[in-house]
């Protein structure tokens, strides 16, 4: 359920869109049945829209992309990973993060 500005990430496009990205990438590991995931989704949309070209916001559905979820050791969702230059620069879990704190972690505040 990616919105207009967020990108659906899959095993097929993850390397290209995330690991080879020139801009920071916020990856949201989520699932349809996860209430907190749905709760924070509009905030992620806003960040993606307001910072288009400066940051990529992508969503990995853990039910559909179990290999990716396993690769990054996802235990609970929503889980967020920030990739910079193909490396995990930061990670955090849960929907209790403010827009400001997420933007600060991305370096775009």
Q: Which domain holds residue 88?
A: 7-18+29-96
Asked if residue 68 belongs to a domain, the reply is yes
Asked if residue 38 belongs to a domain, the reply is yes
pTM score of the predicted model: 0.94
Asked if residue 90 belongs to a domain, the reply is yes
> What CATH number does residue 76 fall under?
3.40.30.10
Number of domains in the chain: 1
Asked if residue 71 belongs to a domain, the reply is yes
How far, in Å, CA of 78 to CA of 32, rounded?
A: 11
Asked if residue 36 belongs to a domain, the reply is yes
Quick one: pLDDT at residue 3?
58
Residues of the chain with pLDDT under 50: 1
Asked if residue 87 belongs to a domain, the reply is yes
Candidates 27, 37, 60, 69; catalytic one: 37
**What DSSP string describes 18-49?**
IIT-SS-EEEEEE-TT-HHHHHHHHHHHHHHH
Asked if residue 78 belongs to a domain, the reply is yes
- Using alpha carbons only, give the angle 48, 52, 56 rounded to the nearest 5 degrees: 60
Active site residue 104: no
Active site residue 5: no
Candidates 9, 26, 34, 74; catalytic one: 34
């Amino acid at each position: 359920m990616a919105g207009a500005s967020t990108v659906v990430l899959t095993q097929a496009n993850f390397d290209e869109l995330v690991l080879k990205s020139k801009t920071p990438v916020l990856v949201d590991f989520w699932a349809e049945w996860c209430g907190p995931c749905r709760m924070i989704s509009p905030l992620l949309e806003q960040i993606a829209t307001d910072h288009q070209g400066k940051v990529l916001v992508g969503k990995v559905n853990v039910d559909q992309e179990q290999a990716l979820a396993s690769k990054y050791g996802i235990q609970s969702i929503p889980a967020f990973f920030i990739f910079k230059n193909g490396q995990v620069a930061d990670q955090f879990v849960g929907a209790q993060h403010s827009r400001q704190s997420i933007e600060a972690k991305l370096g775009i505040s």
